[in-house]
Amino acid sequence: MKKVILFICIVLPVYQCMAQNKYTDSLETLLAKTSKPIDRFDLLNKILDNNDGTRGNFQDTSIGLQMHRIAQNLDNDSLLAISTNVIGNYFRSKADYPTTLEYFFKAIPLAEKAKDQRRISSLYFDIAECYYNLQNLEDCFKYAKLGEQNLPDKDSPMYDFMAGQFYRTMANYYLKKNQTDAALVQIHKLEECNRRMNKANYIMYSYIQNASVAAQLGDNEMAELYYKKANLLTDSINTPAIRLVFNQNYIPYLLKTNQVGKARQYALQLLSTGEEVNSSIFKLDAAGYLSQAYIKLQKPDSAYFYLSMQSMLKDSVFNQNNFNKIQSLAFNEEIRKIDEENEQMDAAEQRRQNLQFVLMAFGIFCFLITFLFLSRSFITNTKIIEILGVITLLIVFEFLNLLLHPFLERITHHTPVLMLLGLVCIAALLVPMHHKLEHWATHKLIEKNKAIRLAAAKKTIEKLGVVGEDNNQSDVKE
């Protein structure tokens, strides 16, 4: 019976991992047929969530760039928080933690503005993991707790996914602190989440953490069982990142328990993986483990060989880190261009709208003025013309400001003092013109009012004359 249960525990996650990969393939096929931006963003996000880094997609810069461009074009805070989180994950895959944290912290206010609890908690857990990798356990604990406070509701479909990240992080924290009881509590909660969501990499992490607890308690038999299950699941996931996670936990355990031959075997596998993916970090870890193994095997020549390799690889890793920083700078430049293009589009759209509003107001004013001048029977006070003249001056000034502002920015290189002087020169030209036009309009209005009054007086006199003649004729008849 125990063998059957063990078989189910090992084989079921493998089957789930295969199903997960097929689902990702179907999403990628659907993405190729989709053109609507919001639908493409949703599919890209589903691909990342489904993989959770198990297929190396965090290192695919095209996904992050596509998502960020769509989010910027749609000007959606929730989508911007997600895309910024994805960009941070890319830099985390390069072990560039300062840049990673910069993007994660930048994404938090966007997620808060969108009230996206799932994204807020995810960002805090990602930040906590960065601090864990930097060996800053106190900040790791602090941000993991902030993530817990922002978990989505328990009835949310994303609750287990996010809660699982919290339990995994806290288990790692307590394991580092050698607090096995507290670690076990977190691992059991992670296992509860795993039973509901069946994610292969989460299950693999729980196996490794159970093995670490057993090893700290001195129960090597149980530790071996969990490592065996984790190893089989790691093979089924079959990505370099997952392999590294497993080896970084398993090889030190093998060396500590004097299973030197097996430690050497897995270290050689890690070295082969490093050569396959051309990762100096993988090869550096493998060389360190191999030098320790050969020292224990009392083979000084081999130990010296791998110590020399380790020394050379440290220089290579330093150079690789510099190369990664150069790549990161190039990626940052791509993001900056996307942001700048979006800002220019927004500014152009805003100017277009402002010009439309000004033209509408100017058209209304011209209609009123034309109406006042063309009206033959409407007497207007000159004060109205003065008020309308001031309004016109302001409208024309704002119209010219909107129209000439991009040109002024270019020739003044955004220097506030020079831009102010340019606007003052425009105003200096407009004010005298305004006074002349106001004087002309007032003069014309006075003449128009006089003409209207004179015409009205003539009509009155004519009416009085007609009435007088009628009265005289009546008197003669009598």
Which of 3-7, 140-144, 260-264 has the weakest average pLDDT? 3-7
pTM for the whole thing? Answer: 0.62
pLDDT tens, position by position, 45-85: 888 766 554 444 444 567 878 888 888 888 888 998 998 88
pLDDT tens, position by position, 120-132: 999 999 999 999 9
The answer, yes or no, to whether residue 219 has pLDDT greater than 90, is: yes
Which of 143, 110, 145 minimizes the C-alpha distance to 127?
143
Measure the CA–CA gap between 477 and 474, rounded to whole angstroms: 5
State the burial class of residue 276 (Cβ atoms within 10 Å of its Cβ: 0-12, 13-18, 19+). exposed
Q: What is the pLDDT of residue 61?
A: 63
Q: What is the mean pLDDT of the chain?
A: 78
Phi-psi region of 352 (alpha: psi -120 to 50; beta: other; left: phi over 0): alpha
pLDDT tens, position by position, 408-447: 777 777 677 787 787 788 778 777 776 776 666 666 666 6
Residue 264 CB: number of other CB atoms within 10 A?
22
Which of 59, 118, 52 minimizes the C-alpha distance to 90?
59
Give the rounded percent of residues in the chain with a pLDDT score beyond 90.
28
Sign of CA dihedral 291, 292, 295, 296: negative
Whether 415 contacts 422, CB under 8 Å:
no
> What stretches of 217-299 show up as alpha helix (H) in DSSP?
220-237, 240-256, 260-277, 280-296
Q: What is the pLDDT of residue 367?
A: 58
Which of 143-147, 205-209, 269-273, 354-358 has the weakest average pLDDT? 354-358
